[in-house]
Every structure is written in C-alpha cells, then in structure tokens.
Amino acid sequence: MPSVEQYLKPEVINQIKRLDLRAKFVVKSFLQGLHASPFHGFSVEFSEHRRYAHGDDPAHIDWLVYAKTDKYYIKKFEAETNITGYLAMDLSKSMAYTYRQQLSKFDYSICLAAALCYLMVHQQDPVGLITFDDKVRQNLRPSARRTQIANILAHLSKLQPTGQTDLAYSLTQIGALLSHRTLVMVFSDCLGNIENTIKSLGRLRHAGHDVILFHVLDEAEVSFPFHGVVELEDPESSQILQVDADEFREEYLREVTEFRDDLRRESTQLGVDYVALDTSMQFDRALMEYLLSRRSRF
C-alpha cells in the first residue's frame, strides 16, 4: 500500500502526525457522537436482528425472539449503522491564494480533509471525496478500507485549484449524488453569492444530510495587513483594483466580518455546522477544538 506520506508536503506530514497524537484521546468518543448526529431529531427505524455479543446493552434484547429460539438477539436500528462521509473540496482558483502563510487555503483544506479522512477510516466509517469548482469534477466513492486514506490523498495531490467558483450549484449537484443520509464536509472560501449558497445548504439539510461547512480564508483576507497604495487582483477574473490600503482597511474588515457573521447565522438556523478558519491557525488545534465542541452537543 502506498504510504500516506508520499502524497503530502513535509510540513503537512508533521501537522498530520501532531494531529494524530493529540486526537487519540477523543477519536472514539467523537466519532460515536458523529454517528448519531445526522439522525439527531429523527426517529430510528428497526432494521434487523443480530446475535447478542458481549458488551451489548441487555435492554436491547428482543425477549420475544428469545422465547421462541432460546437465543439472545439484539434489535438493530438504522441509527446504529456506520455513517457515510464525503469530503467536498473547492478547486476554484481563489483557493490557491496565500499572502505570507506557508500553506495556501487549498493546502490548509487538504490538511483538514486528510485528518478527518483518517479519523473516519480509523472508526471504519466509509468516506469519499468530491471535488468541485463551478460544478462537480470528481467523485471518489466512499470506502472504509485503510487504503482509502492514500487514495483520497493521491487524488488531492494531483489537483490544482484553477477553476471558477459556483459553490451553490456544486452543492446542489452534490445533493443529487447522495442516495441516503450522509455527512457532507465542505472545504471552501465560500466566495460567491451567499444567498444562493445558503439555499443550496438548506436543500442538503432538508434532504436529511448532516453538513459541516469549513470556511477557510487566508490570514491576509481576514486581517488585511497591507499599507499604502496596493493592487488587489481577483484570482478568477484577473480584475485589478488599486486602493489606498490604510483608507480601505476599516471598510474591508467590516465587510469581511459581516460576510462571516451572515454565513454563521444562516448556517446555524439551517442546522449546518459553520467553522470559520484562517490559515494562521494551527489546523490541528482548530480542528480539535471544533471536534470537542461538536462532541459535547450530542
């Protein structure tokens, strides 16, 4: 089996290793909570019987079956089954941006996706990969095999974020690909029409999917560390805007704050987990804080 390390930059490997060490104490309990979360608020449905095994809750024994067979069987419900996850990666050109951080938004997202892929496969949960820009480009089917980590990272290592952005349409396409309730983990800078994005997120939630939106911005996009006259270029349209950074800063920071606040508020109302990140944050620490907060809610 190809090693995971061969697909990652040295600095990414080190961060993944640190995450591995720091995550071990919460992996099991986190993923147990994750299993239940897509079905939170839904009634569980009886699926089938299975033989009683040591460690099962005796309260789940079907005593009617025992009376007929003199053997212990457990009622199995749909909510007990493993959850299927999809990593949905934004390949638009704006994701390639970095100002002074070692990792671009895309590299940072790969770190997050690799860590979550590892955590799910470790718990034997199927996980797949969808890539998109203005539409879905690739769909790597979910698998819980150990080799899936290398498969997903191999796909990511060959990709270049060069496309145009249409997050809303891509999310709609993703929804059409899903045949049953799924955990959709979206990694994007969310540039584009926020109203359309919210509508698409709403459709995913209405279909019963659990959605985590990792909103990844570059540190410079959040803090605007520029001075004097600067040229700002739109990475997708190549349009250049010349501004006085010192005069523009206050207005820019206000708009970025409003943009993130709007996404957070609307996502929360839909039941979407919104995770605001920027590339100055240690990704392992940021991810662990999110996982711990999520675990405490379920």
Q: What is the pLDDT of residues 61-86, one digit of tens each?
A: 778 777 778 877 776 554 445 688 99
Rounded distance, CA 216 to CA 92, Å? 13
Rounded distance, CA 156 to CA 66, Å? 51
Residue 133 has a pLDDT of 94
**pLDDT category, 252, cuts 50, 70, 90?**
very high
Q: Is 263 exposed, middle or buried (0-12, 13-18, 19+ CB in 10 A)?
A: buried
Residue 251 has a pLDDT of 94
Helix (H, G, I), strand (E, B) or coil at 52: coil
Q: How far is CA 26 from the centre of its chain?
A: 18
Spell out the alpha helix ranges (H) of the chain: 10-36, 63-69, 105-122, 147-157, 167-177, 194-206, 219-223, 245-270, 283-297
Domain spans of the chain, in order of start: 4-37+82-297, 43-79
**pLDDT category, 94, cuts 50, 70, 90?**
very high
pLDDT, greater one: 53 or 274: 274
HSE (CB half, 13 Å, CA atoms) of 139? Answer: 12
- Class (C level, CATH) for 4-37+82-297: alpha beta
Rounded distance, CA 5 to CA 32, Å? 27
Residue 96 has a pLDDT of 93
Q: Is 90 exceeded by the pLDDT of residue 115?
A: no
Residue 238 has a pLDDT of 75
Helix (H, G, I), strand (E, B) or coil at 204: helix
Residue 40 has a pLDDT of 37
Residue 270 has a pLDDT of 95
- Cα-only R_g, the chain: 21
In percent, the amount of the chain with pLDDT more than 70 equals 78
Residue 268 has a pLDDT of 94
Q: Is 203 exposed, middle or buried (0-12, 13-18, 19+ CB in 10 A)?
A: middle
Q: Is 60 exceeded by the pLDDT of residue 171?
A: yes
First to last CA, the chain: 36
Q: Is 60 exceeded by the pLDDT of residue 227?
A: yes
pLDDT, greater one: 288 or 126: 126
Per the CB < 8 A criterion, the answer to whether 272 and 205 are in contact is: yes
Q: Is 80 exceeded by the pLDDT of residue 29?
A: no
Average pLDDT (258-274) is: 96
Q: And the tokens for 121?
A: 């496969």
**pLDDT category, 28, cuts 50, 70, 90?**
very low
| Owner of token pair 């640190």 | 18
Arithmetic mean of pLDDT over the chain: 81
The torsion defined by the Cα of 161, 267, 264 and 251, in degrees rounded to 10, comes to 70
Q: Which amino acid is at 140?
A: L
Rounded distance, CA 137 to CA 140, Å? 10
Per the CB < 8 A criterion, the answer to whether 212 and 38 are in contact is: no
**pLDDT category, 116, cuts 50, 70, 90?**
confident
Residue 110 has a pLDDT of 87
